[in-house]
Structure 1
């Protein structure tokens, strides 16, 4: 009797933990913008709370089902590769990386199981997006943002940040946050609501182009295409946003010459000789490192630690002719600027295979749930996850809190919504039958 009472008390405490975790997740989007250390603390706390809950509830099912076994295997491979690299820093960083998949699993299984909590997070993301947009426009119109920071040296709008980070942050909030409002308005129906929804989407697209960062702009364009293909309610909205984006690019020489130079002129220059561009040299170096260590790679952060090694200059067949031997540092950076290359250099082809399989499982789970429910909000989450894991694009480091925090937050939110909608549908079907 005492044991039953103690267990009930412990479950009650974990229930309090769950409520605290829900509040922390709801405010996480704001700290993703202004306090990475606090954001990382929130992610770690939610992961730990979830582990405590699982132990108290004696629930280990989640360890064996769904996508999590693949995530565990990927983590184990990168930990092993880091141990083999004889770098204690690499090993420690690899070990604590488990906090991200644990956080996403906590959202899916425990924290965001209800509609109210899911919507609170999506609206928080929307508010974060509005803050970015407002600061971009203040900087564009007045020359500086609220903190007094001007445009970046290359002309990019920095929004609420000191450096050129508005584009990636706006991308993270664009579909699951900002587009949420136009979609909800469009679903209400009526000419007025549809007009406002269309105007808002066009305004958000205009802002993204004016920010002047190439890859986030291209990623938003890809996301708009996916929206039009998947979500019927967004087709008119997407048409307005896409048309506005095209017209804005054409008018950039007048609206924002710096953005035109970076988005159009510099992009054309890079793509005309991509292998010799900065990104081309980074990718060639990463592929060379993978060629030398194909099975387990170089461990966590192996690319940054070892890319200056002369061994990795000219050892990949067919790519040697593009290596700039007169500037061996050209292929080095703080990360590979691509999720898949980062995983490959960290854990080899074994890790790359596991990561690709994991991405397929995530996308298949979200897509199946969307196709069976046609829930527009789930569709927006599917779009941003598909965009983030598109293989042919430049990304920030997947292992950093700035990128990993956003990615796993959006992924966990999407998986939680997919589970809620499909579980509810199965229950309804069973009851009807």
Structure 2
């Protein structure tokens, strides 16, 4: 039994912060010490991920790619192919092969093949996490702690930006220099956030209080970033996670009420932010004639009508949309269609849309099915909320084949898929 398991067994209903952290740190040391020396370094690198992603996209991409490729090489050397039998893994490779075929048949095969080929590093990283890096539950818990700490650091950076320079057009940009910090808070931090909310409305003790305070602080920062869909992913994901794991209703309703009040106070203090989440958001989501977002999503559907089988090739929307949408009303050329499903249809065709949807929802199902096999574990019970929120069909989204969004998104997905490693010994994932 691990140090944390022993502590939770003894203090299940009244957890304290310091003893829980001490047990987790001791477990992490023991887990790393038990690894072969060459693997120990890669596991430490993996645990540093949430902090590396605070730097910039190039080191973050290098971190993810190194671990993904190491896993592939390790699997070949050790002749470990058991993970290839998992359905969502097979679905991911089938979708990737179709993307390569679509790219080869596209208007610009050289560029599109490159985009499609290197995209596999993101699912491969999720496989590396689920079937190698997070197989020891002690290290999985350590990674969840690292995610929580990284999220707090990001929120503090954004708070400093608010206090020093303020918002720019209702948005925040530190530490990257572009308008994407809400992506980190919403996606990288989502596994820790869902756990925090679930703990805050269920268990007793100081851990529950700290979880509630950090969750409230981070949701307020998420509002201030001005990234509306990222805020909705967090808000809805948190409320859903709180519902699915042993909620005490008076605490759940109290937490929701406090968060709503805090958001209203932010709106009162920052009128431009309030406008982004109210009038601008409603008009953008409902008025087809004036909504740039709806025009962009519709653009993907328009292009797909004439490229129904193979699509125009992964990544080609940014180069071809200006020409293909010329003089077509209610469309808008852009880098991508701003919806995963519209983009898959447009760039990989109807078969790609079907294969891609099967892949995405297979991951959701894998996490959802696992949640019934260990209801006592807060992360296992709530992990399915992560892919469900990220792949909700009617949401706006970033580039499905892009770099920065995928680094953030797949870091969260990888942990959700690794929740299978926390299923009790009496069950099989």
Same fold (TM over 0.5): yes
**Residue 397 (structure 1) shift:** 1.2
Distance change >3 Å, CA 313–CA 344, structure 1 → 2: farther
Q: Secondary structure at the match of 2:426?
A: helix
Q: Answer with 1 or 2: which has the greater Rg.
A: 1
1:108 aligns with 2:110: no
1:217-296 alignment to 2 at 5 Å?
A: 217-233=231-247, 238-296=252-310
Q: Distance in 2 between matches of 1:378 and 1:269?
A: 38
Q: Secondary structure at the match of 2:427?
A: helix
1:13-32 alignment to 2 at 5 Å?
A: 15-32=36-53
Structure 2 counterpart of 1:36:
57
Q: Does the 8 Å contact 1:285/1:312 carry over to 2?
A: no
Q: Does the 8 Å contact 1:201/1:237 carry over to 2?
A: no
Q: Does the 8 Å contact 2:338/2:399 carry over to 1?
A: yes
Q: Does the 8 Å contact 1:171/1:220 carry over to 2?
A: yes
Unaligned runs of 5+ in 2: 1-34
Q: Which of the numbers 173, 178, 181 marks the counterpart of 1:163?
A: 178
Q: Distance in 2 between matches of 1:44 and 1:198?
A: 34
1:61 aligns with 2:82: yes
TM-score by length of 2: 0.83
Q: Distance in 2 between matches of 1:383 and 1:373?
A: 15
Q: Distance in 1 between matches of 2:104 and 2:67?
A: 27
Q: Secondary structure at the match of 1:398?
A: coil
Structure 1 counterpart of 2:150:
128
Q: Does the 8 Å contact 1:231/1:379 carry over to 2?
A: yes
Q: Which of the numbers 150, 160, 167 marks the counterpart of 1:151?
A: 167
TM-score by length of 1: 0.83
Q: Secondary structure at the match of 1:378?
A: helix
Q: Distance in 1 between matches of 2:334 and 2:325?
A: 17
Distance change >3 Å, CA 95–CA 261, structure 1 → 2: same
User: Structure 1, residues 165-188: CA drift from partner, whole Å, max 9, x if none?
Assistant: 222221114431245456557665
Structure 2 counterpart of 1:216:
230
Q: Distance in 2 between matches of 1:41 and 1:348?
A: 30
User: Structure 1, residues 113-169: CA drift from partner, whole Å, max 9, x if none?
Assistant: 0112111211111111101211222233x233xxxxx422x1223343323222222
Q: Distance in 2 between matches of 1:195 and 1:61?
A: 42
Q: Does the 8 Å contact 1:197/1:237 carry over to 2?
A: no
User: Structure 1, residues 89-114: CA drift from partner, whole Å, max 9, x if none?
Assistant: 11122112221222111111111101
Q: Does the 8 Å contact 2:193/2:238 carry over to 1?
A: no
Q: Does the 8 Å contact 1:304/1:333 carry over to 2?
A: yes
Number of residue pairs the alignment of both structures matches? 393
Structure 2 counterpart of 1:82:
103
Distance change >3 Å, CA 241–CA 120, structure 1 → 2: same
Q: Which has the higher helix share?
A: 1
**Residue 416 (structure 1) shift:** 1.9
Q: Does the 8 Å contact 1:199/1:240 carry over to 2?
A: no
Structure 2 counterpart of 1:137:
159
**Residue 308 (structure 1) shift:** 1.0
Structure 1 counterpart of 2:425:
424
Q: Does the 8 Å contact 2:137/2:422 carry over to 1?
A: no
Q: Distance in 2 between matches of 1:381 and 1:179?
A: 8
1:204 aligns with 2:206: no
Structure 2 counterpart of 1:352:
353
Unaligned runs of 5+ in 1: 1-13, 145-149, 315-322, 325-329, 429-433
User: Structure 1, residues 177-202: CA drift from partner, whole Å, max 9, x if none?
Assistant: 24545655766524x55444434333
Q: Distance in 2 between matches of 1:234 and 1:357?
A: 35
Q: Does the 8 Å contact 1:32/1:402 carry over to 2?
A: no
Distance change >3 Å, CA 188–CA 421, structure 1 → 2: same
Distance change >3 Å, CA 189–CA 50, structure 1 → 2: same
